[in-house]
């Protein structure tokens, strides 16, 4: 036991540049981790997570695991977090997490699962470390960092590697099947044919944009049709939903000629 | 001594100077590139282009830079202030970092110290460039999100989807290069091309890289993130003054970055054109910098040419092209290319290699014929939608067979 402890101490003794790097980055990473849980906006917390991933990558690189560090940035920061951001932006700019428990007992289950995962990781790492002497990075990197990883990945662990990749592909396919819905809207081609064969040709050349024939040409002023009535469809649906549309009655042209006569 | 060992022996001050040189080269290239792009596009469109500031308008970009810096800096009320400021900084800092691993010259003497103009050489240099590029996109996406306005948000969304898709294609196009060079370090890849450029040997990879590098840098015809006809200015609609200038700078440095990577991976890096190897010793080796910059600028000219020639793609066409054409093609090519490499490594007979090549060629042709045939059949069997007959007289509708053949 004592032997192991002193070995851990010697391994733990770092060189100065690495120590400086650690003491600058580690507090920042921990702060970001805390901030990730605390901040309100989902995008902010995604950003902080991206920062944690990048600082982890820098730690890996500082400990001579060059390939792991770079791949961490390419895969996690570049692809996974970017997908996260994509979804967040798609869902809404100001979306923030709701604290209401939708599924009953979810918190308890999540806590139990987290404990289980933690236990699993601890036991695995412990089993890898305790009975063995660490051979050190210089030995395992002797053929080159990338070559060493490739050797392990494609010889000893090729089965586990392929199983994990099959699992991931199955998950991706499953997600696609679950999210797939039959196409509900008709195709552009169908719509254009329908426009020409429909009741009226008035919309074939597109609807009148806002302001046509009206007194103003602002986006919130509806167009007037040739007979002087208001074309409500000339205003963007968003403006209409927001209630930003100007009341159109004053813009309507009454058939005044008859009144004058 | 190999280049990477040579670089490893640099003292700190030499590294600092090399970093400074790389930075200055990037900034000067950007100033020149903006001027060159405006002049060349003008020529393609039969205009004159900027010709007022300095000789031939050469100082136009400098004047524009001053103008941008003096403009009012506006932060919209609805913007997320912190992210709005961070976004252009992310863009403008990451774009320079790719140049740390670019081998710009061969062995040269710098202040009496023999070295090569490459800041550092790491075993996973090319992956590092990809990683930096993927972080740089955060600038664009966050700019879109933080502006608090619809058009930038759409631009940011497009950009994030675009980059994920085209980075996959780009990464796959590099796999064949790694296999043939046996390394992912930029210096080693340049050295491995001494007997033939990978642009020739791995031509399909080269083409796929060329296409995906345009997609990756948000340039026409793939500039959907800032499509001015649809999204005003895209992600940078709300930006002004120096923050906008930073995006501007980042765009051009990124172009130089992907062009430099293309030069390194496919065009033999800083080496001279075939047959002109004697020029590499001129000026004590510094002439290789001329070759490197010449190749980079040749790629930049392609960027300008594309912009002057092609209309912007529609978004769904663009995504379809990436996922259904580029990625499958590069996957098939990786299999074929690696089989060639393996056959060569195992010293297979020439007949076996040629037989394999012809077999692959015939298979691909058969595949194309079959797909064309099935498309034709599907068209012949397609049923026209049943629509109500019009109630007013209209000219007879051309039957779709006449149009589509």
Domain count across chain A: 2
Give me chain A's average pLDDT, please.
78
pLDDT of residue A2: 46
Rounded to two decimals, the ipTM of the complex is 0.77
Residue whose tokens read 């450029």: B197
Residue A81 is part of a domain; what is its CATH number?
1.20.120.1200
Indicate whether B141 belongs to any domain.
yes
Give yes or no for a cis peptide into B221 (omega within 30° of 0).
yes
Q: Is A71 on the interface with B (CB under 8 A)?
A: yes
Nearest to B263 by CA among B229, B238, B241, B288: B288
Going by pLDDT thresholds of 50, 70 and 90, the confidence category of residue B369 is very high
Q: How high is the pLDDT of residue A4?
A: 46
Shortest Cα distance, chain B CAs vs residue A172, angstroms: 15
SS3 content of chain A, % helix, strand, coil (to 5): 65, 0, 35
Residue A84 belongs to a domain:
yes
pLDDT tier, B167 (very low <50, low <70, confident <90, very high otherwise): confident
**Partner-chain contact B123 A144, CB within 8 Å:** yes
Q: Is B336 on the interface with A (CB under 8 A)?
A: no
Q: Residue for token digits 């710009």?
A: B104
- Among A76, A94, A112, the domain-final residue is A94
Is residue A131, in this structure, part of any structural domain at all?
no
A231 touches chain B (CB under 8 A): no
Return the minimum-mean-pLDDT range out of A41-45, A103-107, A133-137, B289-293. Answer: A133-137
User: What would the pLDDT profile of A212-256 be if each residue is shown by its tens digit?
Assistant: 777 777 788 888 777 777 777 788 888 878 877 776 666 666 655
In-domain check, residue A182: no
The answer to whether position A130 is within a domain reads no
Domain limit, last residue, from A39, A74, A94: A94
pLDDT the model gives residue A198? 67
Contact criterion met (CB < 8 Å) for A86 and B148: no
Give the pLDDT of residue A7: 46
Lowest mean pLDDT of A64-73, A110-119, B115-124, B171-180, name the range: B115-124
Lowest-pLDDT range of A90-94, B96-100, B257-261, B360-364: A90-94
Q: For A48, which residue in chain B has the nearest alpha carbon?
A: B83
List the single best residue of A32, A69, A70 to mutate versus B (max B Cβ within 10 A): A70
In a domain, A22, yes or no: yes
Instruction: For residue B58, give its domain range.
Output: 11-368
Span B305-309, mean pLDDT? 90
Show Cβ contacts of residue A219 under 8 Å, excluding neighbours closer than 6 positions.
A210, A211, A235, A236, A239
Closest alpha carbon within chain A to B171 = A74
The pLDDT of residue A114 is above 90: yes
* Average pLDDT for A145-150: 83
| 8 Å CB contact of A196 and B394 | yes
Checking if the pLDDT of A1 tops 50, the result is: no
Strand partners, B107: B116
Q: Which of B123, B137, B389 sits opposite A82 (nearest CB)?
A: B137
Query: How does residue A127 score in pLDDT terms, banded at 50, 70 and 90?
Result: confident
B122 touches chain A (CB under 8 A): yes
Instruction: Examine residue A117 and state whether it is found in any structural domain, yes or no.
Output: no
Residues spanned by the domain of A39: 2-94
Domain annotation covers residue B393: no
Name the helix (H) or strand (E) containing A126.
helix A106-129
Q: Taking 80 as the threshold, does the pLDDT of residue B179 lie above it?
A: yes
Q: Which residue has the higher pLDDT, A99 or B250?
A: B250
Q: Cβ–Cβ of A78/B135 closer than 8 Å?
A: yes
Mutate to test the interface with A, among B155, B385, B389 (most CBs of A within 10 A): B385
Task: Please tell me the predicted confidence (pLDDT) of residue B304.
Answer: 92
**How many domains does the structure of chain B reveal?**
1
User: What integer best gives the mean pLDDT of chain B?
Assistant: 85
Q: How far is A139 from chain B (nearest CA, A)?
A: 17
User: Does B354 score more than 90 pLDDT?
Assistant: no
Confidence of residue B260 (pLDDT cuts 50, 70, 90): very high
Residue A237 falls within a domain, yes or no? yes
Helix/strand/coil (H, E, C) string of chain B? CCHHHHHHCCCHHHHHHHHHHHHHHHHHHHHHHHHHHHHHHHHHCCCCCCCCCCHHHCCHHHHHHHHHHHCCCCCCCCCCHHHHHHHHHHHHHHHHHHHHHCCCCCEEEECCEEEECCCCCCCCHHHHHHHHHHHHHHHHHHHHHHCCCHHHHHHHHHHHHHHHHHHHHHHHHHHHHHHHHCCCCHHHHHHHHHHCCHHHHCHHHHHHHHHHHHHHCCCCCCCHHHCHHHHCCHHHCCCCHHHHHHHHHHHHHHHHHHHHHHHHHHCCCCCCCCCCHHHHHHHHHCHHHHHHHHHHHHHHHHHHHHHHHCCCCCHHHHHHHHHHHHHHHHHHHHHHHHHHHHHHHCCCCHHHHHHHHHHHHHHHHHHHHHHHHHHHHHHHHCCCCCCCCCCCCCCCCCCHHHHHC
* B127, B131, B160: residue with CB nearest A82: B160
**More reliable by pLDDT, A229 or B69:** B69
pLDDT in tens, B370-391: 989 999 888 887 766 555 555 5
Domain endpoint, select from A39, A68, A94: A94
Taking Cα atoms as reference points, which of B360, B381, B312 lies closest to residue B162? B312
Instruction: Establish if A10 belongs to a structural domain.
Output: yes
* pLDDT tens track for B194-249: 888 888 888 999 999 999 999 888 887 888 877 777 887 788 888 988 899 998 89
Among the listed residues B36, B183, B189, B232, the one whose alpha carbon sits nearest the alpha carbon of residue B102: B189
pLDDT in tens, B70-102: 998 888 888 888 899 999 999 999 989 988 888
Taking the C-alpha atoms of residue B95 and residue B90, their distance in angstroms, rounded to an integer, is 8
Query: How distant, in Å, are the alpha carbons of B142, B151, B219, B254, B394 from that of B215?
Result: 19, 20, 7, 12, 44
DSSP A217: -
> Which residues are within 8 A (CB) of B4 and not within 5 positions of it... i.e. 6 or more apart?
B121, B185, B187, B188
Judge whether residue B403 has pLDDT over 80.
no
Average the pLDDT over each of B32-46, B114-128, B303-317, B378-392 and give the range with the smallest value.
B378-392
Residue A56 reports pLDDT greater than 80: yes
Tell me whether residues B134 and A79 touch, CB distance under 8 A.
Answer: yes
Share of chain B above pLDDT 70, in %: 94
Enumerate the residues of chain A whose CB falls inside 8 A of the CB of residue B89. none
Measured between alpha carbons, how far apart are the two ends of chain B, in Å?
65
| Chain B residues within an 8 Å CB radius of A71 | 127
Q: What is the SS3 assignment for A230?
A: strand
CA distance B303 to A193: 39
């Amino acid at each position: 036991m004592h032997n192991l402890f002193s070995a851990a101490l010697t391994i733990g003794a770092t060189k100065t540049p690495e120590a400086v790097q650690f003491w600058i980055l580690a507090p920042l990473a921990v702060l970001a981790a805390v901030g990730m849980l605390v901040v309100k906006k989902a995008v902010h917390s995604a950003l902080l997570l991206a920062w944690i991933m990048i600082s982890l990558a820098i730690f890996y690189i500082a400990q001579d695991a060059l390939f792991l560090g770079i791949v961490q940035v390419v895969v996690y920061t570049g692809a996974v977090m970017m997908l996260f951001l994509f979804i967040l932006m798609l869902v809404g700019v100001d979306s923030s997490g709701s604290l209401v428990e939708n599924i009953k007992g979810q918190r308890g289950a999540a806590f139990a699962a987290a404990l289980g995962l933690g236990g699993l990781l601890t036991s695995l790492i412990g089993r890898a470390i305790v009975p063995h002497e660490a051979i050190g990075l210089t030995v395992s990197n002797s053929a080159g960092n990338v070559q060493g990883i490739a050797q392990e990945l494609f010889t000893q662990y090729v089965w586990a590697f392929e199983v994990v990749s099959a699992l991931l592909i199955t998950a991706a396919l499953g997600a696609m099947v679950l999210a797939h819905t039959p196409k509900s809207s008709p195709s552009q081609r169908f719509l254009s044919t329908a426009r020409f064969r429909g009741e009226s040709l008035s919309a074939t050349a597109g609807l009148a944009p806002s302001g046509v024939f009206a007194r103003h040409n602002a986006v919130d002023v509806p167009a007037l049709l040739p007979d002087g009535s208001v074309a409500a469809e000339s205003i963007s649906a968003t403006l209409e939903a927001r209630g930003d549309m100007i009341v159109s009655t004053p813009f309507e042209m009454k058939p005044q000629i008859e009144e004058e006569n | 001594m190999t280049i990477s060992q040579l670089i490893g022996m640099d003292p700190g001050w030499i590294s600092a100077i090399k970093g400074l040189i790389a930075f200055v080269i990037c900034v000067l290239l950007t100033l020149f590139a903006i001027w060159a792009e405006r002049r060349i596009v003008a020529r393609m469109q039969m205009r004159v282009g900027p010709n007022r500031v300095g000789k031939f308008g050469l100082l136009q970009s400098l004047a524009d830079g001053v103008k941008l810096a003096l403009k009012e800096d506006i932060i919209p009320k609805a913007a997320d202030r912190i992210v709005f400021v961070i976004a252009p900084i992310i863009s403008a800092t990451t774009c320079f970092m790719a140049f740390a691993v670019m081998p710009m010259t061969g062995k040269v003497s710098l202040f009496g110290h023999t070295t090569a103009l490459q800041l550092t050489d790491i075993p996973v240099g090319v992956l590092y460039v990809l990683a930096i590029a993927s972080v740089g996109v955060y600038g664009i996406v966050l700019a879109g999100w933080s502006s608090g306005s619809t058009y930038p948000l759409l631009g940011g969304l497009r950009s994030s989807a675009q980059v994920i898709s085209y980075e996959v294609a780009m990464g796959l196009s590099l796999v064949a290069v790694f296999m043939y060079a046996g390394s992912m370090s930029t210096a080693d890849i340049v050295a491995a091309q001494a007997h033939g450029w990978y642009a020739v040997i791995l031509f399909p990879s080269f083409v796929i890289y060329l296409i995906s590098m345009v997609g990756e840098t948000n340039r026409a015809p793939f500039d959907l993130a800032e499509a001015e006809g649809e999204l005003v200015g895209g992600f940078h609609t709300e930006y002004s003054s120096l923050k906008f200038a930073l995006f501007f700078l980042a765009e051009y440095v990124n172009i130089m970055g992907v062009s430099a990577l293309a030069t390194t991976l496919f065009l033999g890096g800083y080496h001279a054109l075939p047959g002109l190897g004697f020029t590499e010793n001129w000026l004590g080796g510094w002439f290789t910098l001329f070759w490197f910059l010449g190749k980079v600028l040749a790629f930049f000219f392609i960027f300008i040419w594309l912009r002057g020639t092609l209309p912007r793609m529609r978004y769904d066409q663009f995504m379809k092209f990436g996922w259904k054409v580029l990625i499958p093609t590069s996957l098939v090519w990786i299999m074929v290319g690696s089989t060639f490499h393996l056959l060569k490594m195992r010293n297979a007979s020439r007949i076996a290699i040629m037989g394999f090549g012809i077999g692959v060629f015939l298979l691909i042709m058969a595949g194309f014929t079959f797909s064309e045939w099935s498309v034709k059949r599907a068209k012949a069997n397609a049923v026209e939608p049943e629509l109500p007959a019009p109630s007013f007289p209209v000219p007879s509708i051309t039957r779709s067979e006449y149009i589509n053949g």
